[in-house]
């Protein structure tokens, strides 16, 4: 795929460049609680603006139902992008309507505009090729060149991700080029030992990546809500913990395959439990109890890995040459259940390995828990996209950028 570096050498002065970014940031009302994805696209936008392009930035935010919804407006993200660029950023109150047309027409060389949420238009996410294509035609009328830089959306066959690049000369932005380079280090040119840490709530969300990593990884450490399906698969009581019983046979098969292939599955030896899920609004003290992972009491809910498991996982990561981490170890948003996730993050910081934090909740946890992002080899902006790439799937947004 051609990259933005090639585009800049060709020259963009006076050209309208459509940048498909990922500004899908968490909001508390109109307040952005984590601006990591906005910061990630700044290098691409700044490089284009500095070279004299008229930059049109577009993104989705949340899951509106194909119609305008003020709760999902990109206005806060546009304002934050302007702050990070240190320049005024125009904002169109629609995506392909009168406001967008006028806003883009009013750009001078080196100026930037953000158009409203792409998903306010049903054509963006439509499964009908014609409807999606018609919306892509409208988007194409706003620009001369397409730059894909929304890595968090490249696994979606959406109009702005898949159909639009076919209508314009297309290039990969700095972020996508970096993300693909990192993922190749996790799949094609892996330095060993290769350790993978998987967490999060549902084991079903990770089945594909586990299946693929059984051919790649040397050890797989499991935590989060998904671990209780693993423990149940080994015959252990898991109390009232999150459990996907229908996935137990699949997990048992993975454990057997891992053993046969010499891939070490590392599971918790102790768990923090409580009678109920903590109050996430008040963050009131939860008073958890630490129990052995193979002796969880009935009626108790597992909410984080325990202190001995934290030590165990740190030791299993200490000698790794490559580490990929996706998914928290517990309910890290509550202080009583943050230590497991914090321990994994610290182990990656302390490791000399090439460390990759696989987006999503893991990336959020790194920032929320106060870690310096520069202490990690790479923090991905796309959790789902990263996982699908590691599963070996073809990602529509990357395929569309290929020549």
In the numeric block, the tokens 């302007």 are attached to 82
13 is in an annotated binding site: no
Given the residues 152, 224, 360, 383, the one annotated as active site: 360
403 is in an annotated binding site: no
Count Cβ neighbours within 10 Å for each residue of 249-264 and write b for 16 or more, e otherwise.
Answer: ebbbebbeebeeeebe
The token duo for 179 is: 């993300």
In the numeric block, the tokens 């040119």 are attached to 189
119 is in an annotated binding site: yes
27 is in an annotated binding site: no
Cα 130 to Cα 32, 127, 182, 338, 400: the distances in Å are 35, 9, 35, 47, 17
Asked if residues 343 and 221 have their Cβ atoms less than 8 Å apart, the reply is no
Asked if residues 220 and 267 have their Cβ atoms less than 8 Å apart, the reply is no
Identify whether 377 is a catalytic site residue.
no
How far is Cα 259 from Cα 17, in angstroms, rounded to an integer?
51
148 is in an annotated binding site: no
359 is in an annotated binding site: yes
Q: Which residues pair with 222 in a beta bridge?
A: 198
258 is in an annotated binding site: no
62 is in an annotated binding site: yes
Nearest Cα residue to 3 out of 156, 181, 158, 188: 181
310 is in an annotated binding site: no
Identify whether 20 is a catalytic site residue.
no
Identify whether 360 is a catalytic site residue.
yes
34 is in an annotated binding site: no
Given the residues 202, 257, 367, 393, the one annotated as active site: 202
Given the residues 37, 54, 157, 316, the one annotated as active site: 37
110 is in an annotated binding site: no
How far is Cα 384 from Cα 151, in angstroms, rounded to an integer?
10
60 is in an annotated binding site: yes
Asked if residues 19 and 147 have their Cβ atoms less than 8 Å apart, the reply is yes
Given the residues 224, 330, 384, 397, the one annotated as active site: 384
214 is in an annotated binding site: no
Identify whether 37 is a catalytic site residue.
yes
Query: Any idea which residues carry the catalytic annotation?
Result: 37, 202, 360, 384
Q: State the binding site for substrate.
A: 22-24, 37, 60-63, 119, 156
Residues in binding site for ATP = 206, 302, 333, 359-362
Bind-site residues = 22-24, 37, 60-63, 119, 156, 206, 302, 333, 359-362
Q: Which residues are annotated as a binding site for (2R)-3-phosphoglycerate?
A: 37, 119, 156
């Amino acid at each position: 795929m051609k990259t933005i570096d090639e585009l800049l050498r060709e020259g963009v002065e006076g050209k309208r460049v459509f940048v498909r970014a990922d500004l899908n940031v968490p909001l508390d009302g109109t307040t952005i609680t984590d601006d990591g994805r906005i910061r990630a696209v700044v290098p691409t936008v700044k490089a284009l603006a500095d070279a004299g392009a008229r930059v049109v930035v577009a993104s989705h935010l949340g899951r509106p139902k194909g119609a305008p919804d003020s709760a999902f407006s990109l206005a806060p993200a546009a304002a934050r992008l302007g702050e990070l660029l240190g320049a005024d950023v125009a904002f169109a109150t629609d995506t392909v309507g009168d406001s967008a047309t006028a806003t883009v027409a009013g750009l001078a060389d080196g100026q930037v505009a953000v158009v409203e949420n792409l998903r306010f238009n049903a054509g963006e996410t439509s499964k009908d090729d014609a409807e999606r294509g018609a919306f892509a035609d409208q988007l194409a009328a706003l620009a001369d060149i397409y730059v894909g830089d929304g890595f968090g959306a490249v696994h979606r066959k959406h109009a702005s991700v898949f159909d639009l690049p076919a209508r314009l000369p297309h290039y990969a932005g700095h972020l996508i080029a970096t993300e693909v380079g990192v993922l190749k280090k996790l799949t094609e040119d892996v330095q060993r030992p290769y350790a993978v840490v998987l967490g999060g709530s549902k084991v079903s969300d990770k089945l594909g990546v586990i299946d693929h990593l059984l051919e790649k990884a040397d050890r797989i450490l499991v935590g989060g809500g998904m671990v209780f399906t693993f423990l149940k698969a080994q015959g252990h009581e898991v109390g009232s913990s999150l459990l996907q019983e229908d996935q137990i046979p699949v997990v048992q098969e993975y454990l057997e395959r891992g053993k046969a292939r010499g891939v070490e599955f590392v599971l918790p030896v102790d768990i923090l439990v409580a009678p109920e899920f903590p109050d996430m609004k008040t963050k009131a003290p939860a008073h958890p109890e630490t129990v052995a992972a193979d002796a969880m009491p009935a009626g108790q809910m597992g909410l984080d890995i325990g202190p001995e498991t934290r030590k165990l996982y740190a030791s299993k990561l200490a000698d790794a040459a490559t580490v990929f981490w996706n998914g928290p170890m517990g309910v890290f948003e509550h202080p009583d259940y943050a230590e497991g996730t914090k321990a994994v993050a610290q182990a990656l910081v302390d490791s000399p390995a090439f460390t990759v934090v696989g987006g999503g909740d893991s990336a959020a946890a790194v920032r929320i828990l106060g870690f310096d992002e520069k202490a990690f080899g790479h923090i991905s902006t796309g959790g789902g996209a990263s996982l699908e790439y590691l599963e070996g799937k073809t990602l529509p947004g990357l395929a569309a950028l290929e020549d």
